[in-house]
Structure 1
């Protein structure tokens, strides 16, 4: 998996990547990346970001880790509203102490499927704001048309990400085989002006590991999950679900801090 040699049609719709192009010296020899103090502005639209299983313990500190869709894709929930990441500031930086998923850190690089040639090719998002043909700090290719050390490092990162992605697919398949998934809801009960509990509101529907099913597994199966590392990742997911309360509290605090409209009747 190296730089592309002008493949056929790419397939797939990838979060954040609006104009993916196969990285090739014929197209990108005069391009590079400029350093930015706030490089994550693109992630402001990512309220739900894919995770690899090895990231679960770190991501669990920030917010809920859930599974979505028929494929049970693991997701880091970073906002309550679609298209709104609560942890990315207006200046393109993440809030202090927030885990930044590898999916975000690999941007603007990504592997894509080349269906015509049955292979994966390395692409860049040509619309990334820090890719430029003027005043860049890191070039994609050197004068001889070879990938620079910067590009080689990014290729290595993407290769490692792909390895972790495959490991995540195996982890999810294991949970499916053991029938550990169940449908879950995240709910919030607001407080009325008089201090009484309001009507519960559903925030999200998703899939998660059933603690009841997990506890009913045979002892030898639990030992197997412990020994292969899956059990600690399962508990990281389960413990992360308390993060729904954190997101709700953060949203309420920000709403309370917003300027209130003047009361014209006062």
Structure 2
């Protein structure tokens, strides 16, 4: 049988050589490389997200944008607060309520730094018609300020106490005599009892809400103060928020002050918030004992 030999064309034979193999491999690699570059190019020219930009620290993100209402005359502030919060009836009428009266002590006044010289110094100088206290607890400093205004003949002065009157988790470990009824700590009622027992029901009014919501509403209602004391939360975030809200209810040239400037927290708590606020607004911090004072504050 005759053997049949099929001869391949020269070009096909070349493709079977090692040189052809290397060339094909290089061409495949090059094609893949340029294809990938072409695929990526549009995303490099028109990124899906804008490039990162340097931003200021988070402090600038704290903006209080509530619009304050038209200023209420000082002589109408008490009525405004009673109308807005207590439906036009003083909370001291028919006080204490039956369910709470038996749990209250006649007078249970406790505070920290509540009788410092700063109160007398500022009230004598400012002669405030309206004082707002942020953080009141059992009313020690509010009652002290009421005593000072009476002694100085400032009989029309009103003191508004912004506090949620809930204390803090575990505070009853130190104040077991402040009653708890069905989960409701009777701190507001004991505060009011202290005010009534001290004879200042016509001078001191509670604003029983968180400092943030309370200050926001005072701003909306047009309530302005000549003197604002800040003594609620003692961490940086709480103090910073309270200061920035409180300054909006301060009359031009009013005085902002507070407690706990010198504490074990050093420059991580209240002092940091006060110093930063003063630096941003070009104010000078004065100290009076453990209290800080910002005079003639006029911040837009």
Shorter-chain TM-score tier? under 0.3
More relative contact order, 1 or 2 (CA 8 Å, 6+ apart): 1
Q: Specify which structure has the higher proportion of strand.
A: 1
The TM-score with structure 2 as length reference comes to 0.22
The TM-score with structure 1 as length reference comes to 0.24
Q: Specify which structure has the higher proportion of helix.
A: 2
| Structure with larger Rg | 2
